[in-house]
Amino acid sequence: MDDSVRWSVKVSAGTDEAVRTYLGRRRRSARALSRLVEEAAAKSEERRRNRALFARYTSADDIDKARQHALEENRKMVSEIESRIAGIKKRQIQNTKELEFYTGKNKPPARLEHDIQNAEIDLKAQQEQLEAKKKEVDVINAKYDEDKRRFLELTAKK
């Protein structure tokens, strides 16, 4: 038998099929076969993503509307978190005033100490959540910028 081997690879993803044939030496054929399989899988994934893009959006305006909707949802969440933070700070002020009553020999009740600790923990958690939501704006914009770029690129090819 000679050093050539014939490889045929069939990669199936839904209705997409890619059939590749490669002739080459045995020691190179495994790498080439692997590369061909990866290329076929990447092309199949790209076609799937493009179909999903066209299924979701019919125009560039649809992408802009979806972006505005996502940003508005983010703004609502930021507003809710900010109101929770304001409520926690108000609770902290009340706790501080109540704590002033227990100065000197009077020891504050365990409930008050517990409320003060919980308020601090809640405030920190809400502030972290607020920071995350504010950073999410950049992620949302990047996602829709990429979708719009791909959509315009694909519609220009047609």
CA proximity to 3, closest of 25, 28, 36: 25
Kindly state the average pLDDT of the residues 128-152.
96
Instruction: Evaluate if residue 2 carries a pLDDT over 60.
Output: no
pLDDT over 60 (residue 14)? no
Phi, psi of 155, rounded to the nearest 5 degrees: -70, -25
Both tokens assigned to 62: 């649809």
Q: Is the pLDDT of residue 23 over 50?
A: no
77 compared with 19, residue with greater pLDDT: 77
User: Please, which pLDDT band fits residue 108 given cuts at 50, 70 and 90?
Assistant: confident
Which segment, 8-22, 25-39, 106-120, 130-144, is predicted with the most confidence on average? 130-144
- The alpha carbon torsion through 74, 76, 79, 81 (nearest 10 deg) reads -70
